[in-house]
């Protein structure tokens, strides 16, 4: 995909990936972070959706997420994947957000990602 932002990232943007012969994904810092440490895990191959990934791809994404988690001191995490324009996906190359959360970063974090639709997260 010649016009895909994630297929054409310069190598210096990549924070972590696995050895090239086994690598299926890599990690970058989000260019527009919502919190300090916000990062993205991106599969090497161009697919639009989490549902298009293999078990092998998902295993490496999981390993990379756990590895990154150990490098960030925070109080919680939001992990998210937007699939499709109506879910907020703007770059149609699958990527997973790792968003560190910190005590006091919002008044009432209860409900977490349930707040993506205003007024629906309260229970």
Average pLDDT, the chain: 89
Active site residues: 95
In order, the DSSP letters of 57-122 are: HHHHHHHHHHHHHTT---SEEEEE---SGGGT--SSS--EEEEEE-TTSSS--TTGGGGGSTT-S-
Residue identified by tokens 């310069």 is 10
DSSP state of 35: S
What per-residue confidence (pLDDT) applies to 12?
82
CB 61 within 8 A of CB 41: yes
Domain boundaries, the chain: 6-104
Q: Return the CATH fold of 6-104.
A: HIT family, subunit A (3.30.428)
Tens-place pLDDT, residues 16-54: 765 555 578 999 999 999 999 999 999 989 999 999 999
Helix (H, G, I), strand (E, B) or coil at 27: strand
């Amino acid at each position: 995909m010649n016009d895909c932002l994630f297929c054409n990232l310069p190598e210096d943007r990549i924070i972590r990936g696995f050895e090239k012969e086994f690598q299926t994904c890599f990690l970058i810092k989000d260019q527009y972070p919502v919190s300090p440490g916000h990062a993205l895990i991106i599969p090497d191959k161009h697919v639009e959706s989490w549902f298009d990934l293999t078990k092998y791809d998902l295993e490496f994404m999981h390993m990379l997420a756990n590895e990154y988690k150990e490098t960030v001191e925070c109080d919680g995490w939001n992990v998210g994947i937007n699939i499709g324009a109506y879910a907020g996906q703007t770059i149609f190359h699958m990527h997973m957000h790792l968003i560190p959360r910190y005590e006091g970063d919002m008044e009432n974090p209860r409900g977490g990602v349930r707040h993506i639709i205003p007024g629906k997260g309260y229970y």
